[in-house]
Amino acid sequence: MFVTRRTFVGFGALAGAGYLGTSPRTWLGEPPLRASARSGDGVARHASVDGSLDVDLVAGDDWVDLAGERARLWSYNGQVPGPLLEMAPGDELRIHLVNQLDEPTNLHFHGLHVAPDGTADNIFREVAPGAVASYAFRVPEQHPAGLFWLHPHLHGSVARQVALGLAAPLIIRGALDAVPEVSAAREHVLVLQDFELDRSGRPVDPGMAALMGGREGALVTVSGQSRPRYAIQQEGALRLRFLNASASRFYRLSLEGHAMHLIATDGGSLATPQRVDEVLLAPGERRDALVLGSRENGVYRLMNLPYNRGAAGMMGGTLGTRTAFEIASVVYEGRAESPHQVPQALGEVERLSAARARRTFVLSETMGMVRGRGMGMRFLINGREFDHQRIDDRVRLGDVEEWEYINNTDMDHPMHVHTNPFQRVGADGEPEPAWLDGIVVRARRRERIRIRFADFVGATVQHCHILDHEDLGMMSTIQIEE
Ligand code: C2O
Ligand code: CU
Ligand code: CU
């Protein structure tokens, strides 16, 4: 029933979907998966049919097509990024994960509000080499529309497995997609990944210093391509859905000559579009933005601007992007039949009510052993390294809590919480009306969030989404109880 991984190689970019400068490639063999289709963003797409989506994901180590060249990466179904899954609230998802790697792996459904146990978003499972595991759950009826993603989450191996390419976007279609100005825009999913490859296309193992700061690769790809071009019509609109699927790299994005109109953050829609000149995406985060074709014809670059994310102790210099570089571009082509607009309103966004409890999480670092590499840095939450046998915090189902993160280190830590989205608490002490599942706690600074534990009990986690920091200890458990 499973087709060789090679069959999937070379889906490539497709014509008629907004790409220029890349020619359509030949489809090699029959589409082997159920409900399979091709999308305009260089990745295979699987959409649910009659309320369910059944997908085989083969995690393998093979040569794949990356930015027009061959690269020896780890991939789902022979593609980097993995296939785009598309569902609606209330749909059932069934994934057969086939582990063809020579080490264990598993799956995490980043940002989905589903159960943290059983065959759902259970990061404590381990899928042995050669094994097949089923992940099956139903997306709640009230689940917000948005862009989410899948990636491995086996403590100790997460950064490496993600950095080698294992990541796949997942879209929940819902109310936001029905807003007329949003559905009229041309949509693209931009999966941002970075790789460090040698000249033969093989991944280079990062050194110890790179792990301390969080590994970054020199090759930045957008949905598996190098500097793709997206067509926009005069008076038309683009919907750019950004996902940072890199292990540690931050992106600070700005489109030359154009404002972006943010319509959604990690966990779904904003109440009204927010006009911004740039978008910061820490690892794991998503942003959804409309761009209007209101400029003169031409090519406009989507730039990744400098961002200083701190310093890795005594071991390294400044982390992050030093010099701006282009990661994609938008090119004018044709004219829209009627002028597109940014919507006035997108929907209601509640603000989380007053907190029943408060907690503080201190982020710190220390020296310790790093598996297979000798002495190095370890990363701690409230003075402790991750231990999945230990319950660090117990919370009550239904409660709203306010959490403060205190960063006692010289580098940013983008904190991420599983299972339930949260809201950032502003300087005025009130939660901002935007759903997040990640928040950048800048070096030596603090951040506050408000979070509600809704619908699901069980053990879940929070961690730094610089995945090397997570693997080096910066993760803690949260037990949600009745
Ligand atoms: Cu995308 Cu626990 O992470
Ligand atoms: Cu997650
Ligand atoms: Cu960190």
Atom of ligand 1 nearest to the CA of 418: 2
Ligand 1, CB within 6 Å, residue ranges: 108, 110, 151, 153, 284, 416, 418, 463, 465
List the structure tokens of 84.
């785009």
| Alpha carbon of 438 to ligand 1 centroid (Å) | 9
What is the number of the ligand 1 atom nearest to the C-alpha of 153?
2
Residue type, 45: R
Residue 3 has pLDDT above 90, yes or no: no
d(CA 168, CA 71): 18
The C-alpha atoms of residue 415 and residue 440 are separated, in whole angstroms, by 6
Report which bound ligand comes closest to the CA of 213: 3
* Residue tagged 């609230």 (tokens): 89
Query: What are the pLDDT digits (tens) for 109-163?
Result: 999 999 999 999 999 999 999 999 999 999 999 999 999 999 999 999 999 999 9
2 or 226: which carries more pLDDT confidence? 226
What is the average per-residue pLDDT within 284-305? 98
**Are 361 and 260 spatial neighbours (Cβ–Cβ below 8 Å)?**
no
Q: How far apart are CA 178 and CA 46, in angstroms?
A: 20
DSSP track, 150-164: EE---TTTHHHHHHT
Residue 42 pLDDT level (bands cut at 50, 70, 90) = low
Ligand 1 midpoint to CA 386 (Å) = 14
Nearest atom (ligand 1) to Cα of 463: 2
pLDDT score, position 41: 62
With 60 as the cut, is the pLDDT of residue 30 above it? Answer: no
Q: Please tell me the residue having the least CA distance from ligand 1 atom 3.
A: 110
**Whether the Cβ atoms of residue 391 and residue 344 lie closer than 8 Å to each other:** no
> Rounded mean pLDDT of 228-247?
98
Tell me how far apart the 2 most distant CA atoms of the chain are, in Å. 63
Binned at pLDDT 50, 70 and 90, residue 314 comes out as low
Buried b (16+ CB within 10 A) or exposed e, 145-184: bbbbbbbbbbbebbbbbbbbbbbbbbbbbbebbebebbeb
Distance CA 33, CA 39 (A): 14
